[in-house]
Structures are given as structure tokens and as C-alpha cells.
Chains A and B, each alone.
Chain A
């Protein structure tokens, strides 16, 4: 309305210049003003789960660092697919719709299932947490080392059951890696979450399990932790547990569960920068760090560049891993 009147009342050229300026500055304003509304954070898992509760703590100081609060919206379902599909399909590209991600889950899903999201239509913002997979057995288990378990599995192919938090999550990937590396056959039993998978190990329903370091750490008096699927030992939480590489199995950190924030592509570079900087500062806040550490979640704060690299690396590795798998076995895993 305003522009129209301007055009009528002033010489055409001046009007066009003014109009162009207005549009250009409008776009700049949007980024400069950003954020002037609360930011929605989609959590693709239900309230109370590990991802949800970490996301709530990690984003609790958004108002201080970004000027607007972050509001958690739970959209659970289909192992996270519902929430992430929603982000790329229904999320606006103005920076007010963002989501918490779990690597490698969402990358593996985009490769194995018919999802709407993939690395090309998502933009990383910042990473707050890192949770490596650890190999656990029950307190009374005869296995004391990774070698014990591998040896038994060699003698009894297919009889060693291993629980994990679902299909194509870090725990599943660690299991596949161990099978490949040790040349053994394990039976992976997916459950509906990390706590369930832990219960199976504690109750002796399965012989072993891959689980989150943070959850296993809390249950140490009822478990034995045999190995950690990361490049280095965890000096803070589990200094005595060897990595798989130390034990002689070339398993890298591909199964490590990273948690952080992302948004859909199409959001302007300025807004992304602003969000990322604010989020990184927020995750580095002493209080936020202390609360997350108290909750048993190891921290690793990463910015956009580092994250994009990490995502791509995981993506390429997983593609290779899945391609190298026996297609029959893969189908079995997906349909069984």
C-alpha cells in the first residue's frame, strides 16, 4: 500500500529506487531484527527422554544469548522421522523453526528409509553433546573383555544377542562395525529406547548390549562396561574402559551419538550465523554446562563449519558401511 502511493506521487525512477531500497533494507532488517519471536525447537522424541531433557537444559538460556526464548515442541514418532520430516516440509525458512538432531540417526534414516530430509535440505546450527556407544554386559556375565565376547561369538555364531536403542541408531552401527571387524555374527535386538535396551542387559534377557555412555555410567554397579566405541578413552567418566582400537578392533567414532540443533535449508546466511553464534555461546554457558554434566551427558560444543564437515564424514562412512553389508542381511534387519 505504502509503496504504491509512493510510486504514484513521485517520479517513476525515484520510486523504483526507493522501492528497491525498501525491499533490500527489508531483508536486511529481517536478519538484523532476528529474532523478535520465540524460536520453536522440534524434538523428535517424546518428553522425558534423553534427547528431550538435554535439549530443554541446553536451550534454557536462549533468552539471554539470543534475545528470545526457545520453546520445545515434541513431535515424536517413527524413530524421529515424524519430527524431522515436519521441519523440512512445514518449517518456515525465517529461522523460527529449528530442531534437535541426533547423529548418526537422522543421516542413517535418510539413507535407509524414504524420508523427506537429507543432508542437502538441512543446515547445522550448533552441537552441544556427544555420547559414545559402549559395549556392556550384565554384572554376572562370563565376559570380562571384548575378546571374551568375540571368542564366544566365533564359537557360537548367531547366538550372542546384543540390545540397542533401535534400528540404525549409533548402537546398531557399532554392532555392525564389530561384526565386520571381528568377523563374527551377532544378533541385534532393537528396543524402543536406550533405557529399554539397558533393562534387557541388566535383566539378562540379552547377553550384551551397546548403550549410551551416559546411561551405562549411571548403572555401573549393575553392569560391566567392556569397551568404548570412540577414538579416545573418556577421561572424565570412564578412565579405565579401553577403546575398541586399544583392544585391537579397528572401530572408529562413527557410532558416537551427537546432539545439537539444526534447521531447514533456505534460511538466510545472516540468520544462520546469528543463531549459530548465539547457540554456541549458550552451550558454553557455565550453568548450562554444569547442569548437563550433572545429568551425565558429556559435552562437545561445535559450530557450523565443524558440524558440516562431521555430518558429511558420517554420511560418507555410513553409505560405505551399508553398501558393504550383505543386502540380504540388511533386508532382514529392516523387515525382521
Chain B
């Protein structure tokens, strides 16, 4: 087993220093709204120019691991996801924090991240040759159906009704159409120069989540409730570990979905958490608890997010085809070092490849340790008075948005969307479906157009999309998912008719 042979190298002085520093920096960067894992890795690639190949790769790998986990911190404490992947974590993580269970939520987040992360890396280590071929079988038709499957999740995502969720999702898909289409080559809905580059995901994410949050905090502090922070219970790490590991279903759904989504190039790891969250909710005995502070919600989505990390490197290391946007940036870092992905990487550069994978495994452990450690300081974040917090978040929102592309247009887009969302939330619309629409719209559209072109060259568009084992399987999943949502909605309606009171608003942060 090569891994054990190279483990001492991972734990040698310099590499261990990089691992620890990378973990801490990664957790902090990840927790900053707007600094997505992709951004963080891209930012630090120039630093690896000066390092030797092994250390450089270790730094990028550990950053990828830690930023993905760190994004959950702001999701839970401030109700603003650090990256698109953390939206699902927020749905139950923040309600938990409001109920005084912030530390507990953070514990679950890091423990589940660790479990998922280790599973993802083990898949990377043991199943790469087996799964690389599988990843390649996903062409435009399969990716189109995956995007549709993601869209069926929208209805159940934190709006007051399925209909409102779908409406918000449709608006998200429409927003994603703005700009230039790479397949069709046409410009759409570009009324001003500012929209020429389209609405990218980070400005949208920050605008939709952070800005309404800022307004709400200002509102609350004006009403004299600014200092009225929610309480915080003490929680022993050990109790959390035991509870967390007993949730086998949530952990396994999360890890399996995360691994699968990570493996498939072009699906975008960002939706792993949401799909896993939705699946677990559907399997759960009391789905009503989700969205109100159900620990299982945090556990599934975080294990999914982090198992995606290792899995997204499977096609990247073996075929040079990244499984997620961050893996794509990592590929650049690999090439700069003169390392070409492919079978040669594991033979000619075996030392580097195995040290890298060993480091990924160690970084999971370090991420859990440091994550649990910083959970203890979350009480200070929660005690920050609302008006200070609002100012800090507003500054970070503008800074984070601007820094992605150094674009003032993005800041304007972010502010506009944020203000619109603030009012839309008063009518029971949630920001989650809109963001999901923005993420999935282009995947569905691009793959549909490409599939149509391929279908026309073959036996027709319809045959292309509806034949083949994976296609049929995915179509069946979509039908099941929609069917379930309809049945669940009817159940809720009939129960409501029994009670006279209106429904409670779930998304009210």
C-alpha cells in the first residue's frame, strides 16, 4: 500500500506546517462570505510557484478541504452561506443557532465534514481507475437530466409553499439567462453595459443572502432588539460526536450523493449539499422538522459537501478533467508544476501523487480538530451587537463581490438583487431557490443545446435524451422527486384545512 509508505513524508516538518497553516487560513477564508473555495484556491496559486511541487499541491489541497468546511460557519452563525455549497447547511444550521444550539450545529458541521471528507478521499485513493471511466459517460443528455433533478429540489427549499419556491426558482433561471450564451453566441436581456458579463454566482449569492440579512439586522436594532442575541448552550464535543455518528442514514446519504455529484464533471459540486439534503428529508420520518433546526439537515449537507472534494479530484487526477470548478483551478496549479494528470502521474510522479492524497486525508483530520476548536469562539460572534454586525457584513459583501472580478458592475448587481430579495422575502419567497435557479439554469440550457445538436446529427433529439441506462434512471428520479413533492404538498394542505391558522413562515431569519 503506497499510501502508508508516503505518510511519513506528509507528516514531515515543512509539509505539516503547510497543512496546519492551510487548514487555519482555509477555515477563515471559507467563513468569509464571498470568498468561495474556488476563489481561495485561485488566490493562493501564485504562492505555489515558489514552492516545490509536493508542498504546493499540499497547500492547494488542504485549502480546498478547509474552505469548503469553513463556509458553513457563517451559514450557521450569521445566516449567510460562505459559498453556494453551504446553502443547504444554512437551512437548518441557522435555525439551530437561533434556538441556542450554535455550538452544537458547528460540531455537527465539522464532524460530518470530516466523515464525508474521509470517504471522498478514500474513494479517490481506492477507486480512481474504476470510476474515471464512469465519469466520462456523462454527456450532455445525462447532465441535462441532473440539472432537471436539481430543479425538482427547488420546490422544497425554504419558501412558504412549493409554488412560491418554483416561482423563485424560475426567476433564478431567468436571471441566469442574462448575458452571453457560449453555445448559441447570442446576447440576451443585456440592457446596460453592466449586465454584459451576465449575473455570476458569487454576486448573486451575496446579494440574495447577505443584503436582506443586513436590512433585517438594522431593523431589529432600530426596534431596540439589537443586543438581544440568541442564547448559547454549552455542549461537550464528545456528546456531539456520539450523536452525530449515530445518524448513519444522514451521513451515508450525504456521502454517497456528494461522491456521485463530485465524480461527474460539469454537474458542479455546488448542488451536492442541496440534493443530499432533499433526499434525506424525503427519507425522514418527520420531514416537517427540516428547516426548523433539524440536526440531520446539517449532517447530510456537510457530509455531502466534503465528500464531493475528494471525488471531484478522481476525474481530474486520472483524466485531466475536473469534477468541480475548484478542481479546475487546482488543475492549473498542477500544470504549473509540470505535472500532467493521467496514469503517468501515478507512476512517474508516484511520490508527489501519493503524498498529495495522503495530505488530503490528514487535512480532513486537521480540519475537524481546528474546526471544533474554533466552534468554541462562536459565542463571541453571536454576541456582536446587531448594528456592528450589519456594518461588518455590508462591508464584506461589497468587498467580496468586487474582488471576484474587480468589477463595480458586480457590486451594483449584488445590491440590486439584495434589495429586491429583501422585499420578496416579505411575501414568503426564499433566496435559496433563486440561487439554485442561477446555478442550474446554465447547466440545463447549455447541455440541452449541445444535446440537441448531437441528437440532430444522430437519430433525433428525443432518442438522444431518452435512451441509455443513465438517462432512464435519471428521468425516473426526476419523476419520483416531482411526485413526492406533489403528494407532500397535498398532505400539508389537507392538514392545514383541519387547522384554522395560517402556515408559519419558515424563512424568517
A residues adjacent to B (C-beta < 8 A): 47-49, 52-53, 56-57, 60, 73-79, 81-82, 85, 89, 112-113, 158-161, 166-168, 187, 189-192, 195-196, 198-200, 202-206, 215, 218-219, 221-222, 291, 294-296, 333-336
Q: Which residues of A contact B385 (CB under 8 A)?
A: none
Q: CB distance B180 to A79 under 8 Å?
A: yes
The 19 sampled A-B contact pairs (Cβ below 8 Å) are A48-B330, A48-B332, A57-B49, A60-B49, A74-B405, A75-B407, A79-B180, A159-B457, A161-B454, A196-B265, A203-B137, A203-B138, A204-B136, A218-B340, A222-B319, A295-B335, A295-B338, A333-B185, A334-B186
**CA–CA, A74 and B39, complex, Å:** 11
| Chain A: minimal CB distance from B235 (Å) | 39
**CA–CA, A222 and B340, complex, Å:** 13
Interface-lining segment among B156-164, B305-313, B321-329: B321-329
Q: CB distance B340 to A200 under 8 Å?
A: no
Q: Which 10 A-B pairs have the closest CB atoms?
A: A77-B197, A294-B338, A78-B180, A48-B329, A47-B42, A205-B139, A203-B136, A48-B332, A53-B332, A82-B197
State which of A189, A196, A199 has its C-beta within 8 Å of the C-beta of B453. Answer: A189
Q: Which residues of B contact A195 (CB under 8 A)?
A: 320-322, 328, 331
Q: CB distance A221 to B197 under 8 Å?
A: no
State which of B182, B200, B449 has its C-beta within 8 Å of the C-beta of A166. Answer: B182
Closest chain B residue, CB of each to CB of A49: B332
Closest chain B residue, CB of each to CB of A109: B185
**CA–CA, A160 and B456, complex, Å:** 11
| Chain A: minimal CB distance from B52 (Å) | 13
Q: CB distance B332 to A52 under 8 Å?
A: yes
| Chain B: minimal CB distance from A108 (Å) | 11
Q: CB distance B182 to A79 under 8 Å?
A: yes
Q: Which residues of A contact B449 (CB under 8 A)?
A: 336
Most buried by B among A52, A78, A168, A294: A78
B242: Cβ under 8 A from any A Cβ: no
Given the interface pairs A52-B332, A56-B45, A295-B336, the reply to whether A219 lies near B320 with Cβ below 8 Å is yes
**CA–CA, A112 and B184, complex, Å:** 13
Q: CB distance B335 to A53 under 8 Å?
A: yes
**Interfacial residues of chain B within 342-360, with CB under 8 A of chain A in the complex:** 342-344
| Chain A: minimal CB distance from B485 (Å) | 31
B130: Cβ under 8 A from any A Cβ: no
B residues adjacent to A (C-beta < 8 A): 38-39, 41-42, 45-46, 49, 136-140, 179-180, 182-187, 193, 196-198, 200, 265-266, 319-322, 328-333, 335-338, 340-344, 405-407, 446, 449-450, 453-454, 456-458
Most buried by A among B41, B187, B337, B457: B457
- How many A-B pairs fall under 8 Å by CB? 155
Q: CB distance A296 to B405 under 8 Å?
A: no
| Chain A: minimal CB distance from B197 (Å) | 3
**CA–CA, A215 and B332, complex, Å:** 12
Given the interface pairs A75-B407, A221-B343, the reply to whether A203 lies near B186 with Cβ below 8 Å is no
Q: CB distance B405 to A76 under 8 Å?
A: yes
**CA–CA, A82 and B49, complex, Å:** 28
State which of A57, A192, A202 has its C-beta within 8 Å of the C-beta of B319. Answer: A202
**CA–CA, A202 and B265, complex, Å:** 13
Q: Which residues of B contact A160 (CB under 8 A)?
A: 457
Q: Which residues of A contact B329 (CB under 8 A)?
A: 47-48
**CA–CA, A81 and B180, complex, Å:** 9
Q: CB distance B340 to A296 under 8 Å?
A: yes
Given the interface pairs A77-B197, A161-B457, A192-B182, the reply to whether A57 lies near B321 with Cβ below 8 Å is no
**CA–CA, A141 and B406, complex, Å:** 45
**CA–CA, A73 and B42, complex, Å:** 12
| Chain A: minimal CB distance from B202 (Å) | 12
Given the interface pairs A161-B457, A202-B321, A203-B139, the reply to whether A77 lies near B335 with Cβ below 8 Å is no
| Chain A: minimal CB distance from B392 (Å) | 26
Q: Which residues of B contact A81 (CB under 8 A)?
A: 180, 196
State which of A48, A159, A204, A205 has its C-beta within 8 Å of the C-beta of B42. Answer: A48
Q: CB distance B186 to A187 under 8 Å?
A: no
Q: Which residues of A contact B197 (CB under 8 A)?
A: 75-78, 82
Q: Which residues of B contact A48 (CB under 8 A)?
A: 38, 41-42, 45, 328-333
| Chain A: minimal CB distance from B76 (Å) | 28
